[in-house]
Structure 1
Amino acid sequence: MLMLAQLDMCSGDCLEFETHLKAAVGLIQGQNYDHEANRHYFEQRLTWLDMMASTTSTRLPNLSTKELKAALGRFSDHGQRRWSYDVFPCPIDLFEILADITMLSKAQLDVTSPSQETMEGANCIKTRLAAWKWLDQDSGSRGHMIEVWRLGIMAYLKRLFPFTDSSDAADLTSQVLHHAQLIPPATSWSYSLLWPIFQIGVTLGNDAVDERVWVEKRLNIALEAVGCRHFSNALETLRSVWENDAQYDPLAAGLNGRTIMLA
């Protein structure tokens, strides 16, 4: 089921993605499923895909917040929570922040008039995100990739909860592009930047010509190298936003009625 879900994502159609993802989640939720047999790999990957799909759709994740937190707590390396970069690119702490943003947004009764509790929750998340530091202090491609993810999640938070935006959007964009440009384009580190670059891409105005060209070039390089159409779907969505000067809805980023995946 996991392989079928990933095939749907790579094909770009995602017509059966939700069905296969839900079925796969149901399997790992079963009482007879042995999580340790594969060192939790399938659980890790499904948790990632489930949440990332939820960032570009109106649906709630198949896994509850409790199940997600339990899954995140199962993996440690020398006392630190770590997952393989083959499963997903950003550290567990950043993924947990991304998940908290998504769940808080979906719990809102009225997005145009957030409650005091919602505002406090969003500002608390903002503080966590601003204070987060990667302990490894890697100045190479991995370090730049992780910083792009942190900044991309910040852009995601600011768009979902505009009242948390206290900085210059252009400055955030320049920081993301600065770190992304320091990563060689034809590398796995660069291919892992689709989601955060998309978060910045949808904010680029008509005056950001050079930035738009750079984003298009990077996504096309990734598409040619990897071959998965979620890169072209993301680019098609960005072009639609740019050409129509449209307001992007981060929770309903479907493309002609289809789900798009940015993971």
Structure 2
Amino acid sequence: MLMLAQLDMCSGDCLEFETHLKAAIDLIRGQNYDHAPNRHYFEQRLAWLDMMASTTSTRLPNLSTKELKAALGRFSDNGQRRWSYDVFPCPIDLFEILADITMLFKAQLDVTSPSQETMEEANCIKTRLAAWKWLDQDSGSRGHMVEVWRLGVMAYLKRLFPFTDSSDAADLTSQVLHHAQLIPPATSWSYSLLWPIFQIGVTLDNDAVDERVWVEKRLNIALEAVGCRHFSNALETLRSVWENDAQYDPLTAGLNGRTIMLA
């Protein structure tokens, strides 16, 4: 079921993605399911896909907050939580911040008028995000990839909760592109940047000509190398926003009711 969900994502249609995702989650919830052989990888992969799909749709995640926290807490090294397998581009603590932003936004009764409690919680998340440090301290491509993700999550927070924005959007864009450009384009590190680059891409105005060209080029390189249509779907959405000054829903990445996956 997990493989079918990932195939749906790669095909770009996502027509059966939700069905296969729910079925896979139901399987791992079963009392007789044995997580030991895969070291909880399937559980964590489903948690990842479930939350990432929720960032580009109006739906709530299938996994409860309790189930998500349990999945993220399966492994630790020197007191630091880790993914069971090192195949996720976003460190686990940073992913949890992304999840908290998403759940806080979706819990609102009126997204146009956030409550005082919501504003306080969003600012607390902003503080957590600003203080977050990646302990591995990799100065190579992986380190740049992680920093792009951190900045992408920051852009996501500012887009969903504009009142948390206290910095220049152009400066944030510049930082993202700086780190992304230090990663060779035809590498797995670069292919893993779709979600954070998209968060910056939708904010680029008509004056950001060079930045738009760079984003298009980088996504086209990934599409040609990987072949998965979620790259082309993201690019089509960005072009529609750029060319038509289309209204971009702060939560749903698709236009005209179309949903895309950026994971």
* Superposed pair shares fold, TM > 0.5: yes
**In the aligned structure 2, how far is the partner of 1:243 from the partner of 1:258?**
18
Q: C-alpha deviations, 1:32-70, integer Å up to 9, x for none? A: 111222110100110000000000000000000011001
**In the aligned structure 2, how far is the partner of 1:167 from the partner of 1:247?**
23
Structure 1 residue 103: deviation in Å? 0.2
Name stretches of at least 5 consecutive residues in structure 2 with no aligned partner. Answer: none
Q: C-alpha deviations, 1:84-125, integer Å up to 9, x for none? A: 565421100100000000000000000111001100110000
**In the aligned structure 1, how far is the partner of 2:27 from the partner of 2:198?**
31
Structure 1 residue 82: deviation in Å? 1.2
Structure 1 residue 80: deviation in Å? 1.6
Indicate conservation of the 8 Å contact 1:186/1:225, yes or no: yes
- Shifted more, 27-36 versus 79-88: the winner is 79-88
- Shifted more, 46-55 versus 243-252: the winner is 243-252
Q: Secondary structure of 2:152's match?
A: helix
**In the aligned structure 2, how far is the partner of 1:174 from the partner of 1:251?**
23
Aligned residues: 263
Indicate conservation of the 8 Å contact 2:75/2:84, yes or no: no
- Shifted more, 159-168 versus 24-33: the winner is 24-33
Q: Secondary structure of 1:96's match?
A: helix
Structure 1 residue 133: deviation in Å? 0.7
Superposition pairs for residues 161-200 of structure 1, below 5 Å? 161-200=161-200
Structure 1 residue 83: deviation in Å? 1.3
Q: C-alpha deviations, 1:142-179, integer Å up to 9, x for none? A: 00000000000000000000000010000000000000
**In the aligned structure 2, how far is the partner of 1:128 from the partner of 1:78?**
20
- Shifted more, 30-39 versus 171-180: the winner is 30-39
- Shifted more, 77-86 versus 10-19: the winner is 77-86
Q: Secondary structure of 1:259's match?
A: coil
Question: Structure 2 length normalisation: TM-score?
Answer: 0.98
- Shifted more, 20-29 versus 191-200: the winner is 20-29
Indicate conservation of the 8 Å contact 2:41/2:85, yes or no: no
Indicate conservation of the 8 Å contact 1:2/1:21, yes or no: yes
Q: C-alpha deviations, 1:124-143, integer Å up to 9, x for none? A: 00000001011111110000
Structure 1 residue 73: deviation in Å? 0.8
Q: Secondary structure of 1:81's match?
A: strand
Indicate conservation of the 8 Å contact 2:145/2:189, yes or no: yes
Structure 1 residue 254: deviation in Å? 2.4
Question: Structure 1 length normalisation: TM-score?
Answer: 0.98
Distance 1:87 1:49, change over 3 A: farther
Q: Secondary structure of 1:76's match?
A: strand
Distance 1:206 1:156, change over 3 A: same
Distance 1:175 1:217, change over 3 A: same
Q: Secondary structure of 1:53's match?
A: helix
The match for 1:227 is 227
Name stretches of at least 5 consecutive residues in structure 1 with no aligned partner. Answer: none
**In the aligned structure 1, how far is the partner of 2:257 from the partner of 2:120?**
34
**In the aligned structure 1, how far is the partner of 2:138 from the partner of 2:95?**
19
User: RMSD of aligned C-alpha atoms?
Assistant: 1.1
- Shifted more, 131-140 versus 170-179: the winner is 131-140
Distance 1:227 1:196, change over 3 A: same
**In the aligned structure 1, how far is the partner of 2:259 from the partner of 2:33?**
29
Indicate conservation of the 8 Å contact 1:233/1:255, yes or no: no
